[in-house]
A and B are shown apart, each in its own frame.
Chain A
Amino acid sequence: MTVTEAPAPPASGPPVVHKKSVRRRLVPYWLLLPGILWLVVFFALPLVYQASTSVQTGSLEDGFKVTWHFQTYWDAITEYYPQFLRSLLYAGTATILCLLLGYPLAYLIAFKAGRWRNVLLVLVLAPFFTSFLIRTLAWKTILADGGPVVEVLNTIGFLDVTSWLGMTEGDRVLATPLAVVTGLTYNFLPFMILPLYTSLERIDPRLHEASGDLYAKPSTTFRKVTFPLSMPGVVSGTLLTFIPASGDYVNAELLGSTDTRMVGNVIQSQFLRVLDYPTAAALSFILMAVVLIMVTVYIRRAGTEDLV
């Protein structure tokens, strides 16, 4: 869950010395071997196979052959760039919404909940317990045309704003970008809240008092003390939300329409329905590259190098 902030291992000098024999020195390697082998064979090797598939040509009947046909990448980009941009846009919007919605709740649990803290944490984790597909289907009921939620949103003029933004059309929410973003935000909120909570909880409350004693307004305290100190949580929360959201196809499929298809939907249908493996492999490589580059740049910018 938390990709972050395991305290750094003691760097200076080996704390536990195992120099007794060669056999002793091999112990860590024996411990690592099975698990690392598993990851190499079933994580790294598949990526190699996928790379080779992406430059193959052929058909299902005649078989595929590596022909170094890089054109596939170019074709995939020119044909599916709308889905790529849409994925990044939806995932980005969902990430920002998750941060805006998740921060107050994480703050509430960390500083204001008192003896309710554990109850609230259980409620935050509750979504993990019921299968996420069942819960996503529940959104179909909640956002149903003419249902109470849509009625209220329509009455307060919310749907006018979202349709001006191109997120909805008319007085329906289901099968629009808004429905997909709602589902994405909902599904990945716990991945934002938990790292935020962990980093907020570590802040010494006396720092807040000190800031108040120095005549800082509560908003200033938040801006100058709390938020900067919670940055590790913000960084890992946004990553844990954005990365899976960018490749998701469940929300777009269940809550959206053909106009809201994301790149995940394209990869899924190319692989499992159209059976055009080279294009599917190329698409998935482009997605991986885009995400890895964005993540690397973001981590550099945010200045949190020690993520693991």
Chain B
Amino acid sequence: MRWIRRNLVVIAGLLTLAYMILPNIVVMVFSFNKPAGRFNYTWQQFSTDAWKDPCGVADMCGSLVLSLQIAFWATVGATVLGSMIAFALVRYRFRARGAINSLIFLPMAMPEVVMAASLLTLFLNLGAQLGFMTILIAHTMFCLSFVVVAVKARVLSMDPRLEEAARDLYAGPVQTFVRVTLPIAAPGIAAGAMLAFALSFDDFIITNFNSGNTVTFPMFVWGSAQRGTPVQINVIGTAMFAIAVLIVVAGQAISNRRKRIAQPK
């Protein structure tokens, strides 16, 4: 009993973690299911069919490719635009900074459904054709703020004297930026870009309103919830999880090695 009381935080924390991981385990287990009907909600029988033929469902892999394309271009757009804003906000004093800060904060402080619906009214009023471009525009818009926050945090912690030193050594503004500023800001920009990619790839609510007949991967999953979920969806979910964990582990290993090289014992 005393042991439980002393480790209460650890136990509670691990229980929360179990709550968070449980669906991932279910997704993994059910990727090996052989469902009897259209729906893959009850366990029937072990099978590796879905893993052997992940693209065996009509249109699913097409929607996956489309989501990856949108996420890629939205990431490029949001990262470039967002990094520029972040640099301007941190490195320069100018009027309207407060107003610009609120303009960047507001998209994050608003329920997604409000943004999604208002964008739809804009597109409807302009008579825009809903599809790839409207999804891309919307994703770039809502990812922008997150990139600004991520890059700003990094640039704020940068020592401006490094840039001054570069200038004192007769580096031009472009050279200073490319050789000094950009490399130091890179981790922040990378974090912002990864966040943008993940947010765009997984976005459902804004896409649901502004996609017209275009089907991204989350839209496909949503539709399949009504029509019957193919096992392949669980395969994709499991694969995404595995790939992401591998990337994190590899990144960790690389940074550990760098640290070891930088500080030999």
Give A contacts to B, CB under 8 Å: 1-3, 6-7, 9, 14-16, 18, 27-29, 31-32, 34-36, 38-40, 42-47, 49-50, 53, 101-102, 104-105, 107-109, 112, 118, 120, 122-142, 144, 186, 189-190, 239, 243-244, 246-250, 254, 264, 267-268, 271-272, 277, 280-281, 284-285, 287-288, 291-292, 295, 307-308
The chain B residue sitting closest to A24, CB to CB, is B173
B interface majority secondary structure = helix
Which B208-230 residues have a C-beta within 8 angstroms of A? 208-209, 217-218, 221-222, 225, 229
For residue A274, give the distance in angstroms from its CB to the closest CB of chain B: 13
A47 touches B118 (CB 8 A): yes
Collect the chain A residues with CB atoms within 8 Å of residue B249's CB.
122
**CB interface residues, B 134-164, toward A, < 8 Å:** 137-138, 140-141, 144, 146, 148-150, 152-153, 156-157, 160, 163-164
8 Å CB contact of B21 from A46, A126, A136, A292: A126
Q: Please pick, from B93, B105, B140, the residue contacting A38 in the complex, using a CB distance under 8 A.
A: B140
Say if the beta carbon of B92 comes within 8 Å of chain A. yes
Residues A49 and B118 in contact, CB atoms below 8 Å apart: yes
- B20 to A189, Cβ gap below 8 A? yes
Partner of B202, one of A101, A105, A132, A308: A132
Q: CA of A99 to CA of B198 in the docked complex: distance in angstroms? A: 24
B245 near A243 (CB under 8 angstroms)?
Answer: no
Among residues of B, the one whose C-beta sits closest to the C-beta of A35 is: B81
Inter-chain contact B137/A101, CB cutoff 8 Å: no
Q: How far is the CB of B180 from chain A (nearest CB, A)?
A: 13
Tell me how far the C-beta of A223 lies from the nearest C-beta in chain B, rounded to whole angstroms: 14
Q: Is chain A's binding surface mostly helix, strand, loop or mixed?
A: helix
The answer to whether A108 and B13 touch across the interface, beta carbons within 8 angstroms, is yes
How many interface residues does chain B have, given as a range?
35 or more
Bound: A264/B208 CA distance, A: 12
Quick check: B21 and A123 within 8 Å, CB to CB? yes
Partner of A2, one of B94, B149, B217, B218: B149
Q: Which residue of A has the minimal Cβ distance to B218?
A: A133
- Nearest to B163 among chain A residues (CB) is A16
A-B contact pairs, 23 of them (CB 8 A): A6-B156, A7-B157, A16-B163, A32-B85, A38-B141, A42-B140, A43-B115, A43-B141, A50-B117, A107-B9, A107-B13, A112-B9, A122-B249, A123-B20, A126-B241, A129-B244, A131-B237, A138-B24, A189-B20, A277-B124, A288-B110, A308-B102, A308-B105
- Report B-chain residues with C-beta under 8 Å of the C-beta of A292: 109-110
Interface residues of B in 4-43 (CB under 8 A from A): 8-10, 12-14, 16-17, 19-24, 26-27, 30, 41-42
| CB pair B217 A131 closer than 8 Å | yes
A144 contacts B111, C-beta separation under 8 Å: no
What residues on A are CB-neighbors of B94 within 8 Å? Answer: 28-29
**Contacts of B20 on A, CB cut-off 8 Å?**
123-124, 126-127, 186, 189-190
Q: Among A42, A120, A127, point to the contact of B138 (Cβ < 8 A).
A: A42
Is the Cβ of A280 less than 8 Å from the Cβ of B225?
no
Q: Would you call B149 and A135 a contact (CB within 8 A)? A: no
Assembly CA distance A204 to B135 (angstroms): 45
Q: Which 10 pairs, one residue from A and one from B, show the smallest C-beta to C-beta distance?
A: A247-B111, A108-B13, A129-B244, A35-B81, A28-B92, A104-B12, A46-B118, A138-B23, A31-B88, A46-B122
Whether A243 pairs with B234 at a CB distance below 8 angstroms is no
Kindly list 4 other residue pairs between chains A and B, CB separation below 8 angstroms, not including A131-B221, A190-B20.
A2-B153, A28-B88, A28-B92, A284-B117
**Cross-chain contact B13 with A109 (CB below 8 angstroms):** yes
A132 and B244 in contact (CB under 8 A), knowing A1-B149, A142-B26? no
Q: How far is the CA of A244 from the CA of B137 in the complex (A)?
A: 21
B44 at the interface (CB under 8 A from A): no
B120 within 8 A of partner (CB): yes
